[in-house]
Structure 1
Amino acid sequence: MTRDGAGLRVGDRPYRVFGCNTYYLMAWAADPNLRRHVDEVLDTAVQFGLNTVRTWAFNDGEDQWNALQPRPGEHDERVLEALDYVVWQAGRRGLRLILALVNHWDDYGGRRRYAAWSSTAKRADDFYRDAACRRCYRHHARTLVERTNSYTGRVYRDDPTILAWELGNEPRCARDPSGLTLQYWLEEMSAHLKELDPNHLVGTGLEGFWGKWREGRYNPPRWLGGQGSDFLWNHQPDTIDLMSFHVYPDHWHMDEKATMRWIREHLDAAAELGKPAVMGEFGKRGPRALRERCFRKWLDATTSAATDTEHPAAAGALFWALYHDDYPDYDRFGVYRRHESTVDLLRSYTAR
C-alpha cells in the first residue's frame, strides 16, 4: 500500500478504503470462548463487501480485561498472540487493518493510564509532553512493529494486511489550545513509526477539529476549536500519510446541512494539502431509515470526491461500528448482520 498524492495504490491499482470500525477484536480473540466471534464478525465484514477494518492495538493497565500492556513497557504474550490471530484471520479474508496505538479516552486505558504510570505526569494531557509517557509509547509502537506473527511467521512491519498505523484514537490536548503540544507529539511519533516501519502508512486518528485561529472553518460546537488540534496543521508533516476526520452529528449537534458542510470542508482541505483523507469514523443514532439516509449522503460525498479525476480528495470511509450479533449496542451506533437494508446499502457502495 502506498500513498499516491491524494490517493492510495496497491501496485498499479487505486485502493479506496471502504470498511468499518470493530475496536474490540483483540480483546475478544484473547478469550478462547469468544475467539470464534472474531471469525464471525470478520466474515460479516466480507459479506458486507468491506475491505478494511479499523481496530485497537492497545489495551493498557492491569485493571483492563485482557490487557495488552498491563504495566508500562510490559506486554502480555497471550494478548499479543490474540492480536496475531486478528491480523492472520483478516489477511486470510483479504481484509486490511488500520491499527490504532493509544486512546485519548479512558476506555482500554488510554493516555490517562500512561500518565498514571509516570512519576512526573500530573494529569492525562501530560501524556503528550511527559518524557516517561513518550518513552513508553515509543516502546509500545516498537513492540508491535517488530513483532513476528506467531501464526504467519511474518514481521508486522512486512505484513501487507496492515494498511496503516494510527498514532491514536481521537487525540486531543485541551490543556494547550495553541495546538503546539499535540503537533509536536504527532511529528515526533509519526517520525518514530516511519523510522521503525517505512513499509506502512501512518495516520493520526484525529476527529478533524479546526484550530480556533483557523479563519472561516466550521467547528460544530465552537468550543471544539480549543481542543489543541487543527486538521490542516496536524496533517502537514511528511511523515503522516492519512488525513483523518470523524462525523458524529448526534454528539456535535449538527443538522443535515451542517454535517454536509463539515464533510465538504475536510475533503476540500485534503485536496488543498494533496493527501488522502479517510472519514475514519461516522455514525448515526435513531431509526434505521434515518441512519441509512445519512449514510447514503455521506458516502455519496466521499465517493464523488474519491473518483474526481481532477483532484481526488478522499481515500474512503469507515462506519462506526460493526458489532457481532452477541455484542450489545451500548452506544446505539451498532450495525449488525441482521440489518438487511443497511447491508444492501453498503453492498451498493462496494460496486461503486
Structure 2
Amino acid sequence: MKLSTLLSISSAVAIASAQQPAYAQCGGVNWSGGSICVSGFYCFKQNEFYSQCIPGTATTTAATTTATSGSPATSTIAPPVASITSFAKAAGNVFNINGKSQYFMGTNSYWIGFFTSNDDVDLVFSHLASTGLKVLRVWGFNDVTTIPSAGNVWFQSFVKGSTPTINTGADGLQRLDYVVESAGKHGVSLIINFVNNWSDYGGMAAYRSYYNLSTTDQSQWYTSAAVQAQYQKYIATVVARYKDNPTVFSWELANEPRCNGCATSVVTNWIKTTSAYIKSLDSKHMVCIGDEGFGIDGGTDTSYPFGPGEGIDWVANLKISTIDFGTAHLYPESWGETDAWGTSWINIHAAAAKTIGKPVILEEYGTATKANILVWQKAVMDSGTAADMYWQYGDTFSWGQTHNDGHSIYYGTAEYKTYVEDHAAAMAAKAV
C-alpha cells in the first residue's frame, strides 16, 4: 500500500482546521498538516515518519511508549500460548503452517518493527493470536537519507558522502529481532519484505537519490549494479539473522514493485536473480514477490490493472522456480475501478495460480467504505485462494491508536468482529 497517497479520516478533518483532533497525525516526513493538537493533547513523536496527538502535555512521560535505545522495555504481557516449530511451505494450492495444511487469514502492520516498546509489540501479537490470525506482513526495511536523532528506529542509511550503513543496533534491526521473537512465541508467522516501491520509509527512492539514478526511468533501479549490490547486501544481513527461525513465513522481494512503461522482462529478470540469491542464502524459507497482481489475462476485461503498463507479467513471474507463491493486492478505488469489480480480480488470480500449481495470497485489500469486504472475502473462500490478509491491522495503546489511513480495522471494534474474527474462523475451518 502506498501510505503517502492516503489520508485518515481524522487527518482529513484536521487539515481543514487550526488544530489537530485527538489521536490525529500531527507530524512526520512529508506531513503537510498542522502540528498543534486540540486542548488536552500534545504532538508525540513516535518516529521521524509519524507523530500523533495523544492525551497529556509535552512533559508527560509515556512510560509504555518508548524504551531507551540501549535498554529495551521488558514485556509484562501474559505468556503466549503457542509457538512456531516448523517451517511454512507451499502444499499444492494451500500452505502447511506449523505442520498443518490449511487456509488462513492474516493482516499487515507496516509499523510494528518501528516500536521501541516490547510491551506494545507483545500486545499486538497477543491480540492477533487470540483472533486466529496466522500471518502478519511487516516492513523489513526502514531506509533513511539522514541519520535520525537517538531513540528513532532506522534500519539502513543512504547519506550522501557516506557509505550506506545497515543499523544492527538497539534502534535498528534489534527492533525487528524482537518482532520475530514475539511473533514466534505467540504462534504468528511473518512475511518480511526488503524494500518499498514507494518513498515511504525510504524505499527505492532512497537508493535512487544516493546513486544518482533517474527519477523517471524506473528500470534503472532494477538494473543498476551498484543498487542491486547494496540491496543484496541488505537482504543478506536480514536473512542471516533469521534463516534458521521458522517464525518467518516467507521472504518478500519488495512492497508493490512496479516498473512503469518498462518491458516486463526487466522486473522478471530481477525477480529471477533476487529470488535465486535469497534461496542460495536460505533454502528453508519460502520466497514471494509482494506485487499487486498486475499484468494478467482478464479475458474481456482489458482495464488498466490487467495490462502490462506497470511492467509486470504476473503469470510469468509466478512460474519462476524460486518463487513459491503468488501475491495480489486489491484497491479498486485507487485503480479507477468499482469495488464490485474486485470479485473478478480475486477469481482470475486464483484460477491462474491453480493452473500453475502454486498458492496465491490476497496479500492486501482495502476499501474506504468497507462495503464490499464481505463480498471479497466470500470470493476468497469460493475461489480457493489460499489466504487473505487485510490492510491494515489497527490497535489501541496507552498513547492512542495506530495510524489510520482510512483502511485500518481496529482490534476490539464491531468492524473487527465482522470483517476479521468471523472470517478468520471461517478460513481456519475450511477443509483442505
Equivalent residue number for residue 76 of structure 2: none
Equivalent residue number for residue 253 of structure 2: 167
Equivalent residue number for residue 103 of structure 1: 196
Equivalent residue number for residue 359 of structure 2: 276
Q: Which has the larger radius of gyration?
A: 2
* Contact persistence 1:20–1:319 (CA under 8 A): yes
Change (3 A) 1:127 1:299: same
Change (3 A) 1:69 1:274: same
Equivalent residue number for residue 152 of structure 1: none
Equivalent residue number for residue 192 of structure 1: 277
Change (3 A) 1:82 1:11: closer
Deviation of 1:342 after TM superposition, in Å, equals: 2.6
Equivalent residue number for residue 237 of structure 1: 320
SS of the counterpart of 2:127?
helix
1:7 aligns with 2:94: yes
Note the 1:233-272 alignment, pairs <5 A. 233-272=316-355
Q: What is the CA–CA distance in structure 2 between the aligned matches of 1:18 and 1:266, rounded to whole Å?
A: 17
Look up the equivalent residue of 1:84 and give its one-letter code.
D
Note the 1:153-164 alignment, pairs <5 A. 156-164=242-250
* Contact persistence 2:347–2:383 (CA under 8 A): no
Deviation of 1:294 after TM superposition, in Å, equals: 2.0
Change (3 A) 1:223 1:157: closer
SS of the counterpart of 1:88?
helix
Alignment match of 1:318 (pick from 385, 389, 400): 389
Q: What is the CA–CA distance in structure 2 between the aligned matches of 1:340 and 1:181, rounded to whole Å?
A: 45
SS of the counterpart of 2:165?
coil
Change (3 A) 1:129 1:17: farther
Look up the equivalent residue of 2:395 and give its one-letter code.
H
Change (3 A) 1:158 1:73: farther
1:144 aligns with 2:222: no
1:74 aligns with 2:142: no
1:203 aligns with 2:294: no
Deviation of 1:45 after TM superposition, in Å, equals: 1.5
> How big is each residue's C-alpha offset from its partner over 1:89-115, in whole Å with a ceiling of 9 and x where there is no partner?
011110000001100000011111112
Deviation of 1:117 after TM superposition, in Å, equals: 2.1
SS of the counterpart of 2:287?
strand
Deviation of 1:116 after TM superposition, in Å, equals: 1.9
Deviation of 1:9 after TM superposition, in Å, equals: 1.5
> How big is each residue's C-alpha offset from its partner over 1:229-260, in whole Å with a ceiling of 9 and x where there is no partner?
12111211000011000011221232243111
Note the 1:271-310 alignment, pairs <5 A. 271-286=354-369, 291=370, 293-306=371-384
* Contact persistence 1:37–1:324 (CA under 8 A): no
Deviation of 1:35 after TM superposition, in Å, equals: 3.8
- % identical equivalent positions: 29
For normalisation by structure 1, the TM-score amounts to 0.86
**More displaced, 131-140 or 10-19?**
10-19
For normalisation by structure 2, the TM-score amounts to 0.71
SS of the counterpart of 2:327?
strand
Q: What is the CA–CA distance in structure 2 between the aligned matches of 1:219 and 1:44, rounded to whole Å?
A: 41
Q: What is the CA–CA distance in structure 1 between the aligned matches of 2:281 and 2:183, rounded to whole Å?
A: 23
1:133 aligns with 2:224: no
More helix by share: 1
Q: What is the CA–CA distance in structure 1 between the aligned matches of 2:315 and 2:266, rounded to whole Å?
A: 15
> How big is each residue's C-alpha offset from its partner over 1:5-29, in whole Å with a ceiling of 9 and x where there is no partner?
222124652133311100111112x
Stretches of structure 2 lacking an aligned partner (at least 5 in a row)? 1-87, 427-432
Q: What is the CA–CA distance in structure 2 between the aligned matches of 1:223 and 1:349, rounded to whole Å?
A: 27
Deviation of 1:158 after TM superposition, in Å, equals: 1.1
Stretches of structure 1 lacking an aligned partner (at least 5 in a row)? 148-155, 307-313
Change (3 A) 1:329 1:56: closer
